[in-house]
Amino acid sequence: MKSTHPYQRDRALRKLSRTGMAICLTLAGLAATTLPMHAHAAKPDFADPEKVLRTIFPVAETGFDPAATRDLYSNAINEAIFERLFTYDYLASPAKIIPKTADGMPEISADGKTYTIKLKKGIYFTPDAAFNGKKRELTVDDYVYSFKRIMDPKIASTHVWLLEDKITGLDQLAAQAKKSGKFDYSAKVPGLEVVDKYTLRIHLTRPDFNLPMILAYTAMSAVAREVIEKYQDAQGVAMANPVGTGPFKLTEWVRGSKMILDANPDFHKTIWDFQASADPNDQKIIAAMKGKRMPQIGRVVVNVILEDQSRLLAFQKDEIDLFQLYGGLAPQVLNGPDLKPEFVKRGIQMSRIIDPELTVYYWNMRDPVFGGLSKEKIALRRAMSMAHNVEEEIRIVDNGHAIPLQYPIPPGVVGHDPNYKSSIQYNPAAANALLDKFGYKKGKDGYRTMPDGSPLEIVHTAQTESRGHLQAEVWKKSYDGIGIKMRAEFRPFAEILKAEKQCQLMQRISPWIADYPDGDNFMQLFYGKNIHMNNNGCVAIPEYDKLYEQSQKMAPGPERDLLYHKMTRIMELYAAQRLGYARHRMMLSQPRVIGHKKHPIMHIEWLQIDIDKNK
């Protein structure tokens, strides 16, 4: 067979698989993909290899170690391969925690500091050479080991904040590792009490009302120590050999290009059984899915396509089953919020939500020009904040498919305040006046200098894709409006993540999608101790940090909300960043995709949906 586009080959595989033919195609520039024979096999009740879901990532993945992975797309693969103690109800609104590998919800002590969690029996890791041919059952020791890895200084996980200062004795073990240079994984931690192989008792230093949600986050997945020790690199990270207990396993990986996951035939029995929310479409999903053993899908093919138009074209040619429509492409598919008639006629489906997302524009608070807490630096950042028209950016970059945010906690997340109004609003005239007042004078070229006469230039970092270029153009207009020279630099996504973790970027547009649906997950973005983790602007404001630490001891409610309001005003006062927007997430699916509904917290819905292989 002659060489063809990879999407056409995937489509051909689907058609040939329906006839039960065994086929092996050599992909142009990629590894071979082999489809197993099923000509005379009985119809499987789950994990049907003839049901293939084809989807797209808009940026390249970075690797698949839950403790080390930071980006959304790699974590989507992790979510399919590894399992957490808890997960989310597929249809519930607002989001609701349910057991995953845990055998029921946790028992919580009266003081809120002790959680007893039972583990389901008979859950096994997918076979791997690390297990020497033996079946390897999941036990609570695997979760204890996985939690310890997050705190290992050598791994330098960005997820440390999830456990730091929370579990009795765990911080002390991490501190010893910093001194000795080696983490003692065999050491007992009082706060991680293994009662027996199926019972874990977590002892907290203080109540943490978000612990079940934290335990449902991808970074808290169980990994096997044997696997990590076999495949880890010098940093203790195993990004290339993911072995979990989840519904899928990685069977092919062409870095930055393609990932193929096959259903785990030994996945523990999971029956689709969810109750409808207020959404009227839920009843249709329940009618199609209730009682099925999951996963129904036998294979997931993920292609990485960086260019917007190429992604849409692949979907329009029926080479992709599930596709995220970004705002930049929306006019080609939508009339306002609705599908155009030609797409409706084809049976194309759409699930549309407001992402629990906060996109912020940050300035590096450690930068010698733009950082610091002196009055003239605050004035500079405030002026830059007021110079930017968020609504105009939404219109130009996302074609209106986003909402501007006044408050750092977005809609759909506990703690959101729809009535809050930020003290920083679009006002270029006031921004210019502020710069004049603090001595940022314009030179002959029309651009401002520092108060001491030295050059003033900001470097705006953006992704190499078309969206990054559009965003840079919008910001260039904002800076020109107040006489500040801007230079744009474009880098690959993975490189940007690495640089900002080290506080090396001057300014960036930084999106954050909820790890869990509580305001704490957003207020921690500006906490001083989270620099080099999630605090991308590298901001450390003592007044803010003190209030954040107080908020950690509070349950969600009016008292904590009042504290969050004070913290938000502090951030506005120092203008460490400008709040941006939350985008609409619009997921398009082909008519053959059954039961898909975008979940606001889970990265993927592959375990909850089905494919009609006859369409």
3-state SS, one letter per residue, for 506-575: CEEEEEEECCCCECHHHHHHHCHHHCCCCCCCCCCCHHHHHHHHHHCCCCCCHHHHHHHHHHHHHHHHHC
pLDDT computed for residue 465 by the predictor: 87
Question: Is the confidence at residue 570, as pLDDT, over 60?
Answer: yes
Dist. CA 470–CA 393, nearest whole Å: 9
pLDDT computed for residue 268 by the predictor: 96
Question: Per-residue pLDDT tens for 331-364?
Answer: 999 999 999 999 999 999 999 999 999 999 999 9
Closest CA to 468 of 326, 588, 353: 326
Closest CA to 114 of 168, 68, 165: 168
Question: Per-residue pLDDT tens for 229-279?
Answer: 999 999 999 999 999 999 999 999 999 999 999 999 999 999 999 999 999
- Give the whole-number percent of the chain exceeding pLDDT 90: 90
pLDDT computed for residue 42 by the predictor: 58
Only one residue has tokens 């980006």, namely 71
Q: Is 184 in contact with 172 (CB distance < 8 Å)?
A: no
Structure tokens at 187: 């050491």
Structure tokens at 30: 């990629």
Question: Is the confidence at residue 2, as pLDDT, over 90?
Answer: no
Dist. CA 120–CA 130, nearest whole Å: 23
Question: Is the confidence at residue 315, as pLDDT, over 90?
Answer: yes
* 494: confidence class by pLDDT, cuts 50, 70, 90: confident
Please count the CA atoms within 13 angstroms of the CA of 480 that sit on its side-chain side: 7
The type of residue at 427 is N
Across 590-615, average pLDDT: 97
Q: Is 168 in contact with 120 (CB distance < 8 Å)?
A: no
> Using omega within 30 degrees of 0 as the cis cutoff, is the peptide bond preceding 295 cis?
yes
Q: DSSP 3-state assignment of 260?
A: strand
Dist. CA 565–CA 596, nearest whole Å: 37
Closest CA to 371 of 539, 567, 573: 539
**Which phi and psi (to 5°) does residue 430 adopt?**
-65, -35
Dist. CA 362–CA 537, nearest whole Å: 5
Question: Is the confidence at residue 39, as pLDDT, over 70?
Answer: no
Strand residues in 310-367 grouped as ranges (E): 322-325, 334-335, 338-339, 349-354, 357-363
Cβ of 193: how many Cβ atoms within 10 Å? 17
43 Cβ neighbours under 8 A, 6+ residues apart? none
> Using omega within 30 degrees of 0 as the cis cutoff, is the peptide bond preceding 94 cis?
yes
pTM comes to 0.87
Rounded to 5°, the CA angle 450-456-461 comes to 145
Strand residues in 245-355 grouped as ranges (E): 248-254, 258-263, 297-304, 322-325, 334-335, 338-339, 349-354
Question: Is the confidence at residue 20, as pLDDT, over 80?
Answer: no
The type of residue at 87 is T
Q: Is 229 in contact with 237 (CB distance < 8 Å)?
A: no
With 0-12 / 13-18 / 19 or more C-beta atoms within 10 angstroms meaning exposed / middle / buried, residue 131 is middle
Question: Is the confidence at residue 35, as pLDDT, over 60?
Answer: no
pLDDT computed for residue 43 by the predictor: 66
Cβ of 361: how many Cβ atoms within 10 Å? 22
H/E element, 80: helix 72-81
* 479: confidence class by pLDDT, cuts 50, 70, 90: very high
pLDDT computed for residue 148 by the predictor: 98
pLDDT computed for residue 348 by the predictor: 98
Dist. CA 189–CA 365, nearest whole Å: 36
How would DSSP label each residue in 416-438? Answer: --TT---S----HHHHHHHHHHT
Q: Is 505 in contact with 540 (CB distance < 8 Å)?
A: no
Dist. CA 536–CA 364, nearest whole Å: 8
Across 313-339, average pLDDT: 95
Across 139-168, average pLDDT: 97
pLDDT computed for residue 28 by the predictor: 36
Cβ of 159: how many Cβ atoms within 10 Å? 24
Q: DSSP 3-state assignment of 454?
A: coil
Average pLDDT of the chain, as a whole number: 92
Structure tokens at 504: 């090396």
pLDDT computed for residue 162 by the predictor: 95
Q: Is 204 in contact with 27 (CB distance < 8 Å)?
A: no
Question: Is the confidence at residue 604, as pLDDT, over 80?
Answer: yes
Q: Is 106 in contact with 117 (CB distance < 8 Å)?
A: yes
132: left (phi over 0), alpha (psi -120 to 50) or beta: left
Structure tokens at 54: 């084809």
Angle between the N-to-C axes of helices 542-551 and 558-574, in degrees from 0 to 180, rounded to the nearest 10? 160
**Which phi and psi (to 5°) does residue 29 adopt?**
75, 0
Dist. CA 154–CA 14, nearest whole Å: 44
**216-225 as b/e: b if 16+ CB within 10 A:** bbbbbbbbbb
Question: Is the confidence at residue 40, as pLDDT, over 50?
Answer: no
pLDDT computed for residue 58 by the predictor: 92
Strands 248-254 and 258-263: antiparallel
Q: DSSP 3-state assignment of 206?
A: coil
Structure tokens at 109: 């002590």
